[in-house]
Chain A
Amino acid sequence: MDIGGYNMPEDLYYEPNHWWVKQDGDLLVMGMDDFAQKLAGEIVYVQLPDDGKKITAGKKLAKVESGKWLGKVIAPVNGVIDSVNEELEENPGLINEDCYGKGWMYKIKPDDAGDLSKLITGAEALTKWINEEIEKYADTE
């Protein structure tokens, strides 16, 4: 769905720092949402952690960098990294081109897939959140 010019699919789950998550069998797939990739500009580097890295919900799991911004990728749930999108090593711009598709970042084996319910999801919650974010970042180019 379009919210204020940002493509925010309503069937995904969102960590409040703009990392989207979706279920893929026993795994979760995550990436950067459209709001964040537009704000960041051209992504030039994505840190790809080793498979098996333990991650903790709300804590930094990696770094991502555009020319003007360096961000911390925040783990949406507790679990371990199952695999990463190695295409991003050579072409991090995939995040800008297709943030919900070819620009996916990591696959996670969650400790408890039920933790997804703690994330933002559904049209109503999503609309409220993104509108607040638009206001919050109104002065940011």
Chain B
Amino acid sequence: MEAKYDFERKYRKQILQCSRCGYCQAVCPIFGITHRPSFNARGKMLLLKEVMDGKIDLNEELIDTLFQCTTCAACKENCPSGVNVPEIIKQARKDMVNIGSCHPAFTGMNEVLQKNTNIYAEDEPEDFGRERNKKADYVYFVGCVGLYREDEATEATLDLLDRLDVDYTLVDEACCSGVLEDVGHSINTDLADKNIETILATGAHTVITGCPYCYRTFKNKDAYAPLREKGIQLVHMAQFLKDLDISVTTDLKVTYHDPCDLGRHCGIYEEPRQTIRKIAPNFVEMAHHHADSLCCGSGGGVRGAFPKNSLKMARHRLDEALDVQADVLLTECNSCVHNLANAKLRKDKIRIMNTTQFINELMEEAE
């Protein structure tokens, strides 16, 4: 029988490979806070098998299940059968959208990016008091969350670049729009073309971004191939920082949260730790770290579509940082900073920030 949906055409074998062992259940952040088997990777694979078997069909009733996944890839990392769950989920979401069943938050996001250059439909881009679109060696690409939600983190990052005498420029950036691929839609090539044009116009040899998602999108998506073909180097701030001579140190107890998009999705685990260990000898790992790290709950569009559960996941992660009695929780992603900071209670004395923010603060204090 001919497959009805693309997820089956592309991933039938993988879905059947799921042995229902439940290893994913132990690491799924959504299952961790809801304890609902259908929200776990195994549950989702079982539902898709039912669809392939013709027992149920894709429909509105599956929105809460299939769209409630942060695509953190902890399941994939722990799957003994090698099932690439995040990619299967993303394709199933596209099939859902094709039949007109999409979570309204993601329909809205797609519409917003047809009319605006950022996911929040904000009118006024922040310039942080810096000139944009000038000739420079580096472009610093902020990303939507850093521009419109974590502006203090971004300001500190730019201050750090200034302190380090980096020849950089900001640009009139548009959303990289990679997130659309995760929530059932497709990357917006108009926005991608705009970004490519503005980046190339600066003459920069390297794009640095503090956003792991933008980094992934630039590195992997076809829409950004022209940047790569022109030989533009694409680096995440964590990679850029590790080679710099940063002489400040702190006695504070510091821990590090691996953003899923930087860690499991890009394999960048050690670079941030190299930098942090230099400035904070009193570095401690949380119970889950590196490829075993817990998701903060904001990925895959979940922060926008299921904010309550997203914040519960962030709280779950934050508890691990509190358990090791860290004074500071560092990460390398504005979305993680945003969600973890939102989950922090007033009684929690821990500070949550990007590594750049922390280094900038230490340098400021040392001056």
Contact = CB atoms under 8 A, between A and B. Distances in A.
Nearest to B120: A70
Contacts of A84: 346
Interface string B278-321: 00000000000000000000000000110110010000000000
Contact of A44 (B149, B307, B346): B307
Interface string B211-233: 00000000000000000000000
A87 to B, nearest CB: 12
Given A67-B305, A86-B346, A89-B345, A44 B105 contact: no
The CB with the most chain A CB atoms within 10 A, among B149, B304, B307, B311, is that of: B307
A53 B148 CA distance: 23
Category for how many chain B residues contact A: 10 to 19
Nearest to A47: B342
Contacts of B345: 89
A128 interface: no
Contacts, number: 26
B346 A89 contact: yes
Nearest to A84: B346
Interface residues of A, number: 13
A42 B304 CA distance: 12
A68 interface: yes
A68 B105 contact: yes
Interface in B58-114: 105, 108
A52 to B, nearest CB: 13
B175 to A, nearest CB: 16
26 contacts: A42-B307, A44-B307, A44-B308, A44-B311, A45-B307, A45-B311, A45-B342, A48-B346, A50-B346, A65-B307, A65-B342, A66-B307, A67-B105, A67-B304, A67-B305, A67-B307, A68-B105, A68-B108, A68-B304, A70-B120, A70-B148, A70-B149, A84-B346, A86-B346, A89-B345, A89-B346
**A-B pairs with lowest CB-CB distance, top 3:** A44-B307, A67-B307, A45-B342
Given A44-B311, A48-B346, 7 more contacts: A42-B307, A44-B307, A45-B311, A45-B342, A67-B305, A68-B105, A89-B345
